[in-house]
Amino acid sequence: MSEGKVWHPYTQMKTAPEPIWIEKGEGAWLYPKSGERILDLISSWWVTVHGHGHPYIAQKIAEQAGKLEQVIFAGFTHTPAQELATQLVALLPGPMASIFYSDNGSTAVEVGLKMALQYWNNSGNPKSKILAFQSAYHGDTFGAMSVSARSVFTAPFNGQLFEVEFLPDPYPENLSKTMERIQELGQEGKTAAFIFEPLVMGAAGMICYEASYLDSLIQLCRQYEILTIADEVMTGFGRTGTLFATEQIQFSPDIICLSKGITGGFLPLGVTAAAGKIYEAFLAEDRMKTFFHGHSYTANPLACVAALASLECFKQENTLLRIQEIEKLHLGFQRRIEGNSFVQQTRVKGSLLAITLQEGKEAPDYLSNWGPVIYSWFIQRGFLMRPLGNVLYLLPPYCITDSELELAYTAIAAFLEHLGLANPEPPLPGPVFG
Cβ contact 188:225 at 8 Å: no
CB of 265 to ligand PMP, least distance (A): 11
Question: Quick check: 25 binds ligand PMP (CB under 6 A)?
Answer: no
Question: Quick check: 412 binds ligand PMP (CB under 6 A)?
Answer: no
CB of 225 to ligand PMP, least distance (A): 25
| Residue-by-residue DSSP string for 72-125 | -SSS---HHHHHHHHHHHHHSSS-EEEEEEESSHHHHHHHHHHHHHHHHHHTT-
**Active site annotation includes 260:** yes
H/E segment holding residue 354:
strand 352-357
Interface with ligand PMP (CB under 6 A), residue total: 14
Spatial separation of the C-alpha atoms in residues 389 and 372, rounded to whole Å: 9
Question: CB nearest ligand PMP: which residue?
Answer: 105
Enumerate residues 287-346 that contact ligand PMP by CB under 6 A: none
Q: CA 134, 136, 138: angle at the middle one, nearest 5?
A: 145
Question: Quick check: 105 binds ligand PMP (CB under 6 A)?
Answer: yes
Spatial separation of the C-alpha atoms in residues 162 and 169, rounded to whole Å: 20
Cβ-based nearer residue to ligand PMP, 389 or 415? 389
Question: Quick check: 214 binds ligand PMP (CB under 6 A)?
Answer: no
Question: Quick check: 109 binds ligand PMP (CB under 6 A)?
Answer: yes
Spatial separation of the C-alpha atoms in residues 400 and 322, rounded to whole Å: 9
CB of 111 to ligand PMP, least distance (A): 12
The residue among 227, 267, 231 whose CA lies nearest residue 65 is 267
Question: Quick check: 48 binds ligand PMP (CB under 6 A)?
Answer: no
Question: Quick check: 233 binds ligand PMP (CB under 6 A)?
Answer: yes
Question: Quick check: 104 binds ligand PMP (CB under 6 A)?
Answer: yes
Amino acid at residue number 367: L
Question: Quick check: 258 binds ligand PMP (CB under 6 A)?
Answer: no
Catalytic residue among 40, 101, 103, 137: 137
Task: List, in order, residues 6 or more apart from 71 with CB less than 8 Å away.
Answer: 78, 301
CB of 187 to ligand PMP, least distance (A): 30
CB of 232 to ligand PMP, least distance (A): 8
Figure out which of the listed residues 117, 234, 258, 432 binds ligand PMP, where binding follows CB under 6 A.
234
Catalytic residue among 260, 349, 366, 409: 260
- Of 90-98, 135-143, 184-192, 337-345, which segment contacts ligand PMP by CB under 6 A? 135-143
- Of 60-68, 105-113, 181-189, 415-423, which segment contacts ligand PMP by CB under 6 A? 105-113
Spatial separation of the C-alpha atoms in residues 138 and 161, rounded to whole Å: 13
**Active site annotation includes 215:** no
Figure out which of the listed residues 117, 182, 203, 220 binds ligand PMP, where binding follows CB under 6 A.
203
Checking 180-189 for CB contacts under 8 A at 24+ apart, the result is 182/131, 182/217, 182/220, 182/221, 182/224, 182/226, 183/220, 183/224, 185/129, 185/131, 185/224, 185/226, 186/220, 186/221, 186/223, 186/224, 186/225, 186/226, 187/224, 189/127, 189/224, 189/225
Amino acid at residue number 145: M
Question: Quick check: 197 binds ligand PMP (CB under 6 A)?
Answer: yes
Question: Quick check: 64 binds ligand PMP (CB under 6 A)?
Answer: no
Distance of CA 312 to the CA centre of its chain: 21
Cβ contact 366:358 at 8 Å: no
Cβ contact 37:30 at 8 Å: yes
Question: Quick check: 106 binds ligand PMP (CB under 6 A)?
Answer: yes
Question: Quick check: 138 binds ligand PMP (CB under 6 A)?
Answer: yes
Residues that bind ligand PMP (CB under 6 A): 104-106, 109, 137-139, 197, 202-203, 231, 233-234, 259
Catalytic residues: 10, 137, 231, 260
